[in-house]
């Protein structure tokens, strides 16, 4: 059995912090998995992972202390099932806008009678022959609240049995509100939408999550009450470290897409 220590922390009311992987680089995944972070989120929606890349990365995370989680590319029964069969202990699904969307996520993630997940697995057999006995309990399932439609239906979405919590995508939420995502922090509509989802989570006993922009932002979101918090990414650490070095060397740091603001 593999205990989901990140889920344990969240259910105990403590924040669990994670790093996101966007680059297909198993050695980087292996290094980050043992650094002390609570979970690693493999991003197959926006990251550079194909099916084999996902498996390679999950293998690289096997002996680390961080809990392996996967953001699937879309709300799809087969994609969710394959990520679980490959060994994910957390599933995050983007663009969930209704109760029906959330029910589809819950069904795909859990074995009958709770859900409709097909019984059978590949790489997940590394967890032992008792895998089907405990995976429904240890699995963390989060839906992304990242549109104003999802915010307005957050109570219906998060009330679905089998959904443990949410993960707010602040940039897409800003775009949905007609706000420049780079200036969202200055717009009260953005803050109100986030606060509403946080309140719904607390009312329903679900885990509120947030995709933070930085370590300080992650700390602030945890203090606000969020418990599933991503605090940075492999590409972000790489680029930001490189930019710090460039500045220290007296060179002109580049700005623009991929190089900060």
Catalytic residues: 46
Burial pattern 69-93, b for ≥16 Cβ within 10 A else e, equals bbbbbebeeebbbbbbbbbbbbbbb
Are residues 229 and 18 in contact, defined by beta-carbon separation less than 8 angstroms?
yes
Cα(204)–Cα(257) distance, rounded to whole angstroms? 39
Tokens of residue 22, six digits: 């966007």
Number of helical H runs and strand E runs in the chain: 12, 8
Which residue's entry shows tokens 């940075």? 232
Are residues 142 and 91 in contact, defined by beta-carbon separation less than 8 angstroms?
yes
Cα(146)–Cα(176) distance, rounded to whole angstroms? 8
Beta bridge partners of 20: 41, 233
Where are the alpha helices (H) located in 205-233, listed in sequence order? 215-224
């Amino acid at each position: 059995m593999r205990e989901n220590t990140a889920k344990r922390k969240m259910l105990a009311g403590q924040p669990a912090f994670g790093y996101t992987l966007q680059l297909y680089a198993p050695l980087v995944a292996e290094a980050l998995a043992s650094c002390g972070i609570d979970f690693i989120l493999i991003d197959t929606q926006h990251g550079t992972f194909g099916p084999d890349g996902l498996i390679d990365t999950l293998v690289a995370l096997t002996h680390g202390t961080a809990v392996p989680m996967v953001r699937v590319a879309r709300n799809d029964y087969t994609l969710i099932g394959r990520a679980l069969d490959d060994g994910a202990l957390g599933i995050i699904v983007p663009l969930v806008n209704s109760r029906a969307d959330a029910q589809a996520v819950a069904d795909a993630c859990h074995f009958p009678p709770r859900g409709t997940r097909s019984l059978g697995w590949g790489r997940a057999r590394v967890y032992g022959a008792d895998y089907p006995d405990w995976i429904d309990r240890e699995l963390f399932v989060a839906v992304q609240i990242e549109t104003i439609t999802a915010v307005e239906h957050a109570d219906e979405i998060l009330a679905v049995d089998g959904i443990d919590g949410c993960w707010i995508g602040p940039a897409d939420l800003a775009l949905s509100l007609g706000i420049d995502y780079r200036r969202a922090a200055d717009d009260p509509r953005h803050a109100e939408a986030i606060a509403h989802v946080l309140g719904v989570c607390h009312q329903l006993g679900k885990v509120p999550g947030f995709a933070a922009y930085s370590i300080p932002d992650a700390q602030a979101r945890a203090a606000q009450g969020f418990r599933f918090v991503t605090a940075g990414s492999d590409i972000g650490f790489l680029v930001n470290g490189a930019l710090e070095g460039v500045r220290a060397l007296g060179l002109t740091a580049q700005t623009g897409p991929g190089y900060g603001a």
